[in-house]
Amino acid sequence: MKRPIEDEESSCASAEPTESKQAKLASDSNNDAAVAATGNTRNCTINRRRGDVKKAILMLMYSGSGYYGMQRNTGFDTIEGALFDSLLAGGHITEEEYLSPGKLQFQRASKTDKGVSALAQVVSMKLNLSDADSLKADVNSRLPTQIRLLDVFRTTKNFNCKARVNHREYAYICPSYAFASKSRPIDITYRIDSTQLELLRSCLSRYKGTKNYYNFTSGRPPGDASCNRYIIDFTVGEPFEYRDAEFVELRVRGQSFMLHQIRKMVGLAIAIVKGYCRLEAMDAVFTYKRMDVPKAPGLGLLLNKINYGAYNEKYAAELGYSTVDWDRFEAERSEFKSSHILPEIYRGETDNRSMLEWLRTLTMHSYDFDRQDGPPTVFKQQQQQSEQPKQFEKDSQSEAASSEPNSAGALNTGS
């Protein structure tokens, strides 16, 4: 149950602060004198909120490791939760606003799932911007080092950071061995060749344009118009070395994305390059038949940029507002990627074998249509050495019985 918030006048005169709240606020040099004089930390919070309260844009970057996504969720550590804790501790928002973000007109540009990082995230809310530089410094001093506030500045009073997005860019960073032929033993010393890169680029290019992605999410019926998504481009850069491993970075730009969409787009591309199904599956998956599409691991998925081109041109240029321009922070973002994000991806691949373990599940997929348009078929494999995980057995509907290509261009493997 939410704790009721008393009237400002009476609460400032009578509320007794808790020891933990008083300790947090006492650490702020701007509040030391008031705390010592009144012993009332809530008085300091209210005073800090008076003044030049305007709609603000906050530009953020973070490593999602150890967090249960972006959105606040009671009982779980989230990025928004850490941000709101820091704003409250610094006296930049009241307890009532902390409990009811709608009073701040709070909005996020994009959600990110558990463990997903971001080199570009935006939230908008009402804040006292009389000293924006001090606010930024104070919030950063309270945030964990894996969450950084890059900038905070005024915007138009009706700005909505989600609605104003022109497009979003995600990156997916994975070890090169993810694309090795299924017949080849793989380890961290593997290096991708030009033939595989060209096949990968051919797969990714077929995602461009407006298509229906109901096969790339869950809980949507075939042909659901709400699953139409416009992909601007999907590319892969040149391989790069990190420590003793080689990685590739895939980048996809689109107006918006659905749950699991990018991970399934990557998963199908990997399955094709490795030889589990043919390139023609890229066409079959967009027909109005349910198809079994593997979902790549969440490790390596990264919100890379959020574009506000129209807003920057119309409001920043004409009215004198600051632009939401990530290039201004390219050095900081690059350093943060190297020091916080790549180490987590490397650790996940070497210690937890995230991609390697997932690759072993690719033989469990049929890459075929379900003729009844029900849940995607997952083939139950014959076991020779070990029992398959229970979740795959539970969902199994048929045995892999043929090595002939199926209607989606897949090559079923029964071993």
Q: Which of 141-150, 208-217, 369-378 has the lowest mean pLDDT?
A: 369-378
Q: Does the pLDDT of residue 5 top 50, yes or no?
A: no
Is 113 among the residues known to form the active site?
A: yes
Catalytic residue among 7, 52, 77, 113: 113
What pLDDT does residue 186 have? 87
For strands 117-128 and 301-307, give the pairing. Answer: parallel
Q: Average pLDDT for residues 79-106, to the nearest whole number? A: 97
**Does this chain's domain 53-154 share its CATH topology with 167-374?**
yes
Q: Does the pLDDT of residue 321 top 70, yes or no?
A: yes
Q: Which residue has the higher pLDDT, 110 or 35?
A: 110
Q: Does the pLDDT of residue 415 top 70, yes or no?
A: no
**% pLDDT > 90, the chain:** 70
Closest CA to 345 of 303, 294, 304, 298: 298
What pLDDT does residue 319 have? 86
What pLDDT does residue 273 have? 97
Q: Residue 73: which pLDDT band, with cuts at 50, 70 and 90?
A: very high
Which segments of 143-256 does DSSP mark as H helices, in order? Answer: 194-205
CA 160 to chain centre: 19
Q: What is the mean pLDDT of the chain?
A: 82
CA distance 295 to 207: 16
Q: Does the pLDDT of residue 342 top 50, yes or no?
A: yes
> Which amino acid would we find at residue 386?
S
Q: Which residues contact 269 (CB under 8 A, 6 or more apart)?
A: 200, 203, 204, 250
Summarised one tens digit per residue, pLDDT across range 359-412 is: 999 999 988 654 333 333 333 333 333 333 333 333 333 333 333 334 334 333
What pLDDT does residue 49 have? 52
What pLDDT does residue 393 have? 36
Q: Average pLDDT for residues 337-341, to the nearest whole number? A: 97
In what helix (H) or strand (E) does residue 327 lie, and over which residues does it extend? Answer: none
> Helix, strand, or coil here: 339?
helix
What pLDDT does residue 111 have? 93
Q: Does the pLDDT of residue 306 top 90, yes or no?
A: yes
Asked whether 104 and 88 are in contact (CB, 8 A), the reply is: no
Phi-psi domain of 52 (left: phi exceeds 0; alpha: psi -120 through 50; beta: other): beta
Q: Does the pLDDT of residue 6 top 70, yes or no?
A: no
Asked whether 271 and 302 are in contact (CB, 8 A), the reply is: no
**% pLDDT > 70, the chain:** 76
What pLDDT does residue 146 have? 97
- Compute the CA torsion angle 327, 328, 331, 334 (nearest 10 deg): -40
What pLDDT does residue 51 have? 67
Query: Is 3.30.2350.10 the CATH classification of the domain at 167-374?
Result: no
What pLDDT does residue 378 have? 32
For strands 209-212 and 240-242, give the pairing. Answer: unpaired
In what helix (H) or strand (E) does residue 356 lie, and over which residues does it extend? Answer: helix 354-359
pTM of the complete model: 0.78
In what helix (H) or strand (E) does residue 65 lie, and over which residues does it extend? Answer: none
Q: Where are the domains of the chain?
A: 53-154, 167-374
Q: Average pLDDT for residues 348-356, to the nearest whole number? A: 93
Q: Does the pLDDT of residue 346 top 80, yes or no?
A: yes
User: If you compute the radius of gyration of the chain from its CA atoms, what whole number of angstroms results?
Assistant: 25
Q: Which residue has the higher pLDDT, 400 or 342?
A: 342
Task: Look at the block and give the residue holding tokens 């650490």.
Answer: 27
What pLDDT does residue 388 have? 39
Summarised one tens digit per residue, pLDDT across range 268-295 is: 999 999 999 999 999 999 998 889 999 9
What pLDDT does residue 318 have? 84
Q: Does the pLDDT of residue 414 top 50, yes or no?
A: no
Options 3.30.70.580, 3.40.50.150, 1.20.910.10, 3.40.47.40; CATH for 53-154 is 3.30.70.580
Summarised one tens digit per residue, pLDDT across range 41-62 is: 443 444 455 567 999 999 999 9
What pLDDT does residue 117 have? 97
170 is in an annotated binding site: yes
Q: Which residue has the higher pLDDT, 200 or 26?
A: 200
What pLDDT does residue 367 have? 80
Summarised one tens digit per residue, pLDDT across range 149-176 is: 999 999 999 999 999 999 999 999 999 9
